[in-house]
Amino acid sequence: MPGKLLLRVTASVTGSLALALSLTACGGATGASSSDGSKGGEKTVTVYSADGLKSDKGDGWYDKVFADFTKKTGIEVKYVEGGSGEMVQRAVREKTNTQADVLVTLPPFIQQADGKGLLQAYRPQGSDKVNGGDKSADGKWTSVVNNYFGFVYNKKELTAAPKTWEELLDGKYKGKLQYSTPGVAGDGTAVLIKAMHDFGGKEPAMEYLKKLQANNVGPSSSTSKLAPKTDKGELLVANGDVQMNFAQSKSMPNLGIWFPAKDGGKPTTFALPYAAGLVDKAPHTENGKKLLDYLLSEDAQKLVSEVGGGFPARTDVKPTDANAVELTKIMGGVEVFEPDWADIDKNLTAYVDAWKSATGS
């Protein structure tokens, strides 16, 4: 039923989370196709990715893994970054002249990309070590980093993190609260998903978000831009995700991570993995396959927590570094539910339209 979001599991997080992919760049090349399926035999691969895994300072997981991949294979990674929905929409516009080789987005946008015929089946090496729920049965996409939805707050301005959704309606948050746009950003869409879960359905969630709009700064196509504003005190609260915000907190000392609860309930979250797929009719198909293989290699997965501040997608890679220990503490006591992604994929437009109507966005 469209107004009802279905959860299957509730549990404390003790397992692995998985990092996210983010790439930066450009258009595809032209020329005759070579025997490897790439145009002109080019030694490039273009990635369209949701933001969160690449650092402006060049010290993110993508930065390290892409550099290692290029050193090992000679293939240059070109990278384009944006919100999950934005990347899917761009790929759709380019469908008659495909530019991307690999697409990385958060749910439900990876399912949306598959539904729009943007992905071709490919099971990367190491994907047999990824849990069944974190990859498609037909091989169209595989999670490369497991991640969880969350919120951030300014630790300098607020003596403690807010605890409930209801607290955010307080007047002190007016003009000091912002969340990324549902339907455009993966983390923004996650706000809807969590609100519908916590409030018990579409209608009560929209009723709450209508009230919250009085304090909301306004739309943002990218979630990653909200953390710096929160760290500086321009915002007191914003949405985000654990991996991205944990990585950002290393250079943003005022950034704290928290998980809203409904008044009287427990803090909740859900897995929001970075899922990667090989683009259909990709200009550099073989290079795309090699990159997907490398992203799921043990070497790359071992860097997920240590470098990227997230959790590996492979269940056989179990990090024990300081970041992994700290992340486990952050997730302590938080209940994890499993959204009905098939329902969300089917009814996403209706949910986003309901949000637009409720908030006047």
Mean pLDDT calculated for residue range 264-285? 96
What confidence tens digit (pLDDT) does each residue in 60-96 have? 999 999 999 999 999 999 999 998 999 999 999 999 9
| Closest to 206 measured CA to CA, from 214, 216, 197, 196 | 196
Mean pLDDT calculated for residue range 99-108? 96
Q: What is the pLDDT of residue 4?
A: 37
Q: With bands split at pLDDT 50, 70 and 90, how would you rate the model's confidence at 288?
A: very high
What confidence tens digit (pLDDT) does each residue in 329-348 have? 999 999 999 999 889 989 99
Q: What is the pLDDT of residue 14?
A: 37
The pTM (predicted TM-score) of the whole model is 0.80
What confidence tens digit (pLDDT) does each residue in 122-170 have? 999 999 999 998 999 999 999 999 999 999 999 999 999 999 999 999 9
Q: What is the DSSP string of 88-107?
A: HHHHHHTTTS---SEEEE-T
Q: Does the structure show a pLDDT above 90 at 35? A: no
Q: Quick one: how far is CA 183 from the chain centroid?
A: 13
Mean pLDDT calculated for residue range 25-43? 46
Give the DSSP H or E segment for 358.
helix 341-359
Dihedral angle at the C-alpha atoms of 68, 310, 14, 264, nearest 10 degrees?
Answer: -170
Residues in CB range of 322: below 8 A, 6 or more apart: none
Q: What is the pLDDT of residue 120?
A: 98
Mean pLDDT calculated for residue range 210-222? 96
CB 311 within 8 A of CB 327: yes
Backbone angles phi, psi at 339, to 5 degrees: -65, 160
The mean pLDDT value of the chain amounts to: 89
